[in-house]
Amino acid sequence: MLARFILENINLPKLVPQICGRRQCPPGWHIDRQAKQTYNIHYIFKGTGTFVKNGVSHTLKSGDMFISCPGEHATYTASHEDPWDYAWVSFSCAAELRALLAPDVLHNPAAGRIFSQMASSGDEPAKEWAVTGLLYQLFSILAQMQNIPPVDQGYLSKAVSYIEANYAKDIQVSHIADMMNLNRSYFCRVFKRQMGMSPQEYIVSYRLEQAER
């Protein structure tokens, strides 16, 4: 019996893990996360607590993941009666992946295996390789949960790179589409599906982000 399948060369976007770990929180454990330049995903193995981001409060339990992004202010507090046991990973990533990180909270108990392995990779000789591979597995789960397909033939990656290299200039969306030999409407649909915003909105957002820095 032979079972095989062919993979498309989709040029996976860059993912760079920086810190990961696991914490068994003491009762009432509290963190006030000021605006940082990294992404963070926490996974709760057990316990309860509260996650507050952008003024919205979420009560979280086992199997929940909560996400904080660069520039966002968030707080999280473990319960006094049943404090969290959680793992987390802090990382930077390509802009094409931001649509997958848009939800504040997701629930998927299957992700616990990945976080457990990441948190226990510290003693491995090639821990950077191990954690990066596991992080890609986590993003595979996020993509399936949100039904977001891979980047279409690298178009999005090229568009984002062009915008970030030329944001200070007068950028025309039609010009970007022409450079990639794409219909403007199709290009805008692909971009918004992956990024959660139109190309023009991304240009404005990136300019504001650079101005703040």
Please state, in angstroms and rounded to a whole number, the distance separating the CA atoms of residues 33 and 75: 6
- Let me know how long the chain is: 213
What's the predicted TM-score (pTM) here?
Answer: 0.73
Please state, in angstroms and rounded to a whole number, the distance separating the CA atoms of residues 114 and 110: 8
pLDDT higher than threshold 70 for residue 3: yes
135 residue type, one letter:
L
Given its phi and psi angles, is residue 163 left (phi above 0), alpha (psi -120 to 50 degrees) or beta?
alpha
- What is the radius of gyration, based on Cα positions, of the chain? 19
Please state, in angstroms and rounded to a whole number, the distance separating the CA atoms of residues 136 and 146: 15
155-166 and 199-212 helices, crossing angle to 10°? 40
pLDDT higher than threshold 60 for residue 127: yes
Which one is predicted more confidently, 151 or 30? 30
Which one is predicted more confidently, 82 or 168? 82
> What is the per-residue pLDDT across 148-190, written as a single tens digit (0 to 9) for each?
665 555 677 788 888 989 988 999 999 988 887 777 887 888 7
Q: What value, to the nearest 5°, has the Cα angle with vertex 134 and ends 133 and 139?
A: 100
